A and B are shown apart, each in its own frame.
Chain A
Amino acid sequence: MKDEEIIICRCEDITLKEIKDAIHKGYKDIESLRKYLQLSAGPCQGKTCIPLTEKILAQELKKRIDEIAMPTTRPPETPVPFGIFSKAKK
């Protein structure tokens, strides 16, 4: 399969090719890639695509996976409606 046919972030529809291109444009860490491509901004909040992207980064930069820094996890863990939080505060 060609790189442009492999979807890495299925929530935001981002392909392997887009990720590799971005890395070679100079977005060489997970946070910069996330922000540049809007990677991991979908409903699963990156649970699927971030681990994959780490592997791709490691491969492309010829680094070990533990040298690729993990992004901060941002709450909430799963999407929650505004209404739920406002009920807690009455």
Chain B
Amino acid sequence: MRQESPSRPSGYGPGEAPRWEDYSKCIQCGLCLNSCPTYRVLGHEMDSPRGRIYQMIQVERGRLALGDSFVRHMDLCLDCRSCETACPSGVHYGRLIEAARGQIERSYHRGPGATFLRRLFFRELLPYPSRLRAVGKLMSLYQRSGLEQFVLASRLLKVLPANVEKAARLAPRVENPFFRVGTVTPAIGTRRYRVAFLSGCIANLAFARLNEATVRVLARNGCEVVVPKDQGCCGALCVHAGLRDLARAMAVRNIRAFAREPFDAIVTNSAGCGSVLKEYPGLFEHGSQEHLAAAELFSARVKDVTEFLAGAELNTGLAPQRVRATYQDPCHLLHAQRIRKAPRQLIGAVPGIELIEMKEPDICCGSAGVYNVLHPEMAAPLLAAKMRRVDETGAELIVTANTGCLLQMRAGVAASSNPRRRVLHVVELLDEAYRQA
């Protein structure tokens, strides 16, 4: 029997790195392979969960450099955590990849262009709601004035790095007016709960109507809805990108903003935000006990809007919707938060809806935050496969429960042979049904 070979010095630098307690849980059974979107497309072990963990271990053992190859395969991971659901051994893959990315962020140099753009986006834009709004206003002008069509049709963007052009094409439509924070919306009927709504950062601009619908649906279910003013970006994009210091700062701000009073729940309509909000304590494991305790208190209150509504007694004043629908599981709801039933239960509560399950509803659609912008070559085949599964159901309505998935599925529908199909968030569906009742 072979025993451990003597180790060389670890390839990781100081600070958080993938931990033995986490990666030693991987028994290399390979049961996660076919659940991994990147493995399904590429068929390479390097781009499988098992392979990524193996590479992390080899870096630790000093056998593999924390260099281009390692970074490429870690970057290509969608952080969809489908492998966690598939894994019988309880490997917390999310923790591993996030730590690996933290290491990459600290010790790997991406070149001047990428470093500049990352800095601009993550450090100069995301943390500042006011700057986001300013950019949102500009984008809105740009999109409405016809300038966008002109720019996209022209070859102007070709002079910029390739990713900028792709980002420009995939940029969400800004919705005017923006969602307002710092409000309190009374419950309709008897007040049963007082909840806080975490409205997101970019979502306040690009999903203003969805946010409003969320508040309305909560209000109709006996919630007084507080939208704290000094909240900010949840930090999900930073955690996924390995910017852990920044994510911590964002977490501290939100914990403070929502700690003003003991809300019955802190509700979000974005699965990506929700999963990170629920995992705030992981950011403070090495920090002060005080921060950790506050994070635990905060995270325990976080609820996805579908989770919250399914757990409350649902107001059933819903008008019938005669439509065949199918539901796409957002990865960060299903795999990261393990919520499968709640959204289906809510869809099922709408009279008249025929819910047809698509095959493999649990495989990523390729959206994954800004992934579809950074890795279109991977996102495109995933979306195509997803649309084939949707087509098989014959559904006229696609329901999902996350902003990124909404954008991606809408792009998929627009490019399909049946562009009239609708894509709605579960709460948008409920909102329509309430309003028609």
Q: Do A and B bind each other?
A: no
Residues of A in contact with B (beta carbons under 8 Å apart) = none
